[in-house]
Amino acid sequence: MILVLLGTFPIQFTRPLVAIDRLCKEGSLKEEIIVQSGHTEFVSDYLTFQPFMSADDLIELYKKARIIVTHAGSGSILKAVKLGKKVIAIPRLAKYGEHVDDHQLEILNEFEKLGYLIAWREEDDLIDLLERAESFEPAPYVSKKERIIDFLEDYISRL
């Protein structure tokens, strides 16, 4: 099963759905696809939509998914990475009215550098990314929380 996460930002994000739906119509993608669609409306004969769901239900879908295709929001990516999932992430872009700025592009680039995900950029063909995901081994998640806490404690102690 492929889990597609569009997030809950109240602006349409159909770009990934158009590509996924096309692959399904062509017969290139034949497995179950569940979409957490948020505020995005899209009609498809191939995709199962769940606009919003509980945190527990969502985590169960993360666990069951073979691949997670997600918007490049840090929360969605981190949940998948912490579970060791194969992630393909696509940023919402301001030029398409999908977000107010391009911060998701920055998030995408940083997580890609860390080896956590496969970046889906405009020039990429999704079928190539899905094939790449078959052999992709994501880097294990490393939390920087302790470093941040140490930094803050040190800073506060010097005040």
- Under DSSP, the state recorded for 157 is H
Q: Count the helix, strand and coil residues of the chain and give each as a percent rounded to the nearest 5.
A: 45, 15, 45
CATH of residue 118's domain is 3.40.50.2000
The domain of 83 spans 2-157
pLDDT string in tens for the chain (159-residue length):
999 999 999 999 999 999 999 999 999 999 999 999 999 999 999 999 999 999 999 999 999 999 999 999 999 999 999 999 999 999 999 999 899 999 999 999 999 999 999 999 999 999 999 999 999 999 999 887 777 777 778 778 887
CA separation (Å) from 126 to 40, 55, 109, 143?
Answer: 20, 28, 18, 29
Full-model pTM: 0.90
Check residue 143 and give its pLDDT.
81
Alpha helices by DSSP H, listed for the chain, are 15-26, 55-64, 74-82, 103-113, 126-135, 145-157
As for how many domains the chain has, the answer is 1
